[in-house]
Chains A and B, each alone.
Chain A
Amino acid sequence: MDINSVPQDDSSTYAKNKKAIYAVGEDGKVGVVTSSGWEVEEAATKQALNDLEEHAREAYEVVKSGEKSALYFHMYDVRMDLQVLSESTGFFKWTINKDFHPEKFAKISDKRLSVYSEAMGKTPQELKELPKGLYE
């Protein structure tokens, strides 16, 4: 790729940042050029972001209906899934699944809740509640 073909697509996923790319200059040397985005990359990033958003939205509805505990929504809200949450807390997946039960989660120990709080960067109080008015 030569420096003139480095895409400058002002991708929204770059959030006004620029990325350094190596390309061939007129002198034949390969050096750094900044790029404001590439629509191909933007499409792939957006696909992933939409997927995360969709999970969080679905989880929000499920929790709202009382089927699952608020923890289930917060997991997706911090862009995690069961695998990542399990790795970040050190809890087995099946024990986390239990905490998705509203009645079980209501009785969770402070100690266990604080591990979730630490891993997910939310206060214990926040984890127990579903934020009001999201996706409405």
Chain B
Amino acid sequence: MSNFEHSHSAHCESGVMSSMLRHHGLSLSEPMIFGLSSAMTFAYLPFLKLGGMPLIAYRSMPKSIIKNIRKNLKIKMKLETFRSVEKGEERLDELLAEGKVVGAQTSVYWLEYFPEEMRFHFNAHNLIIYDKKDEDTYLISDPVFEEPQECSAKSLNKSRFVKGVMAPKGLLYYPEYVPTAIDLKPIIIKNIKKTAKKMLNTPVPIEGLRGIKSLAKSIRKLQKGDKRYAKLFLGHIVRMQEEIGTGGAGFRYIYASFLKEASELFNDNETLSEASTLMLEVGDEWRNFALSIAKSIKPKKEIPYDALADQLLGIAELEATVYRKMLEFNGK
């Protein structure tokens, strides 16, 4: 029996990395993983559609947390994809037989332990397979669930080999070498700067604060079109922001937690502590924005397009103050 310990996280990929590294003797919280991989962002890609709706992301591209943690912490991490279901299943069983705990990218829709209400076609979910219960049943540590789950081989195979946007191609990943003592300070300094700069100075209007402003513009434009679509679009923003496993405001809260933890590591650094408090406010503002949308998409309600767009611009302003505060941090 594996001695793997499951933990409940706010986000799948940072949760998987935190649990996996802890299992290998490197204890880093989920927020620390999130901060050290510069995972926080904002992206609005009107041309990339998911289920007929534009992609709105509050965190970096799938797999970037795994890859940035590997690079920034100098961990040796193996990532494997497969051409066939059979090969992918065989390899997973082999790794489990060696006693490894294995990360995997999957679809959400085909995982049988997900309740109906949460099953959408999203292919970049992450989980850990830590053992087999019997020939046909895997034991799963899914970070967004409170307790470990079980999953049949059929369902897991289907989820790993679904085709389409962000197709997982059976992706499995596991560390081969994990350092147990790391000086986090230089990595923290570097990634705080990186995140702040990325959000403040994006060359294209689809990322960072410029991305938020573009989304505000798109909301204003909705008033010229079909109202049913407008309501679906607004609802989609909230879902991208709040739904289990994604969580936009959630990411701001995770980052606030990271800033607080970082402040403590730097002898209760004031600047970082203030940035953390500001970031919590940003999270609250995103939630207020979701609340305003929820009110306006109810049947028979008029949509206050301009007010919603202005609220979003307000968030961009507030976020800017946090990033500027983060840039004041000089590592002392």
Contact = CB atoms under 8 A, between A and B. Distances in A.
A81 to B, nearest CB: 6
CB-based closest 4 A-B pairs: A87-B164, A15-B115, A30-B257, A44-B238
Interface stretch (A20-28, A94-102, A105-113): A20-28
Interface stretch (A32-40, A61-69, A123-131): A32-40
Contacts of A14: 115, 117-118, 244
A13 B245 CA distance: 13
B260 interface: yes
B314 interface: no
Taking residues whose C-beta sits less than 8 angstroms from the other chain, chain B's interface range is 35 or more
Interface string B290-310: 110110011000000000000
Nearest to A47: B235
B236 interface: yes
Report the contact-size class of chain A (Cβ under 8 Å from the partner).
Answer: 35 or more
Given A15-B115, A21-B253, A45-B239, 8 more contacts: A1-B283, A14-B115, A22-B10, A43-B294, A44-B236, A44-B294, A48-B239, A83-B49
A20 B144 contact: yes
B33 interface: no
B276 interface: yes
Contacts of B86: none
Given A17-B145, A43-B294, A87-B164, A1 B284 contact: yes
B253 A30 contact: yes
Interface of A: 1, 12-24, 28-32, 34, 38-41, 43-45, 47-49, 51, 78-81, 83-84, 87-90, 119, 121
Contacts of A30: 31, 253, 256-257, 260-261, 276, 280
Contacts of A34: 8, 146
